[in-house]
Structure formats: C-alpha cells, structure tokens
C-alpha cells in the first residue's frame, strides 16, 4: 500500500520549482495564502535584555503571511517579564489578554503601584507604542489605569468599543458562544 503525504507548497514537489510559477500569476503556493487552516510553524526565541536570562518564545508561521495583526509575545517564563506585542494591528481581545498577563506579572513580582508604568515602558516591541513612548516622556508619572487608558487610545481603533458591542449584540454572535 502506497502512503501519500500532503504538501504545503507546490515547490515541495521534486519536479516543481519557483521558476514554474508565472510572474503575476494568481496561482501562488498554498503556504503563502492567509487562511484559518493549520499552517506549519517554527519557534522563535528573542532575548530582549542582554543583562538577564529572560527570553520570549513565540510560535510563528513558517510561511510569510499577508496578515497585519499583532501577535502577543509571551515570555518563556511569564513571571519574569510582561508579555509584548509584535508589530501589527492590535485587537481588543489581545489587548485584554495582555492586560491580564501584566496584572498577573505585577501580582507575582509584587511590583508597587508607583513602579508599574515605569517597568512597562521598556517592555514594548510594537513600533507604534515605542514611538508614542518616545514622544510622551511624562508617561512614567501616570497611574497604571491612566496609562492603560491612554495606551488604548493609541493602539486600538477609535470606535473599538462600539464595534465590539455591536458584535456582541448581533444574533449570529449569540449563536456562536
């Protein structure tokens, strides 16, 4: 009996190479399409602070994606540092998850309220957030809640609350819970 294995890309076939895909062709290898199907992954580790042993482990798609959504980069030891965002559009659900992880980190490390914002300022990889922090050098004086409110206004869509509420109220959404 012969076994068959699915291929993620036409280029995996021994007789097919990139040169066989016509320039400007609407046909691209499946691995380059955005889809909700499983995509092969690889693990990427990032050392964000050369003075510590902390690192981030993030599972990334092994193929390039056309997606512009930000991903949450979770440290290999969540108690060691807050999570970070990759570049891209940050969704309210991911922002909320990040906020919960930050709160958990602060409780585990027993970080005083006066130091919380200061500790967060050096923990961002997202270019939009980094630029915002560089321009607003007085953020360290804010309370954690005020900082989060301002950060929401920077990274989330202007009317995210309204659109999120509409999704929750739609009949289709109620059936998917």
HEC string for the chain: CCCCCCCCCHHHCCCCCHHHCCCCCCCCCHHHCCCCCCCCEEEEEECCCCCCCCCEEEEEECCCCCCCECCEECECCCCCCCCEECCCECCHHHHHHHHHHHHHHHHHHCCCHHHHHHHHHCCCCCHHHHHHHHHCCCHHHCCHHHHHHHHHHHHCCCCHHHHHHHHHHCHHHHHHC
pLDDT at 142 over 90: yes
Across the range 13-28, mean pLDDT stands at 47
For residue 159, name the pLDDT band (cuts at 50, 70, 90).
low
Q: How confident is the model at residue 175 (pLDDT cuts 50, 70, 90)?
A: low
Per-residue pLDDT reduced to its tens digit, 32-62? 323 333 333 344 444 444 444 444 444 444 3
Residue 13 is predicted with a pLDDT of: 52
Angstrom distances, CA of residue 9 to CA of 33, 53, 77? 10, 37, 35
- pLDDT at 147 > cutoff 90: yes
Give the pLDDT confidence score for residue 74 in this predicted structure: 66
pLDDT, tens digit (0-9, with 9 covering 90-100), for 102-119: 888 888 889 999 999 998
**pLDDT given at position 171:** 61
Residue among 53, 46, 105 nearest 81 (CA): 105
Give the model's confidence band at 134: pLDDT under 50 very low, under 70 low, under 90 confident, else very high.
very high
| Amino acid 14: pLDDT | 54
């Amino acid at each position: 009996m012969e076994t068959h294995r699915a291929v993620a890309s036409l280029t995996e076939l021994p007789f097919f190479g990139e040169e066989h895909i016509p320039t400007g062709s609407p046909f691209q290898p499946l691995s380059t399409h955005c889809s909700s199907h499983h995509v092969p992954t690889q693990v990427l580790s990032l050392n964000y602070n050369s003075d510590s042993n902390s690192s981030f482990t993030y599972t990334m798609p092994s193929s390039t994606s056309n997606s512009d959504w930000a991903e949450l980069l979770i440290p290999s030891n969540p108690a060691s540092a807050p999570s970070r965002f990759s570049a891209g559009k940050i969704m309210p659900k991911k922002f909320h998850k990040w906020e919960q992880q930050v709160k958990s980190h602060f409780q585990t490390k027993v970080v005083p309220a006066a130091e919380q914002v200061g500790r967060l300022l050096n923990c961002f990889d997202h270019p939009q957030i980094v630029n915002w922090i560089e321009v607003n050098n007085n953020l360290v004086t804010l309370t954690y809640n005020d900082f989060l409110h301002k950060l929401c206004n920077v990274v989330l869509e202007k009317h995210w609350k309204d659109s999120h509420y509409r999704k929750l109220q739609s009949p289709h959404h109620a059936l998917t819970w």
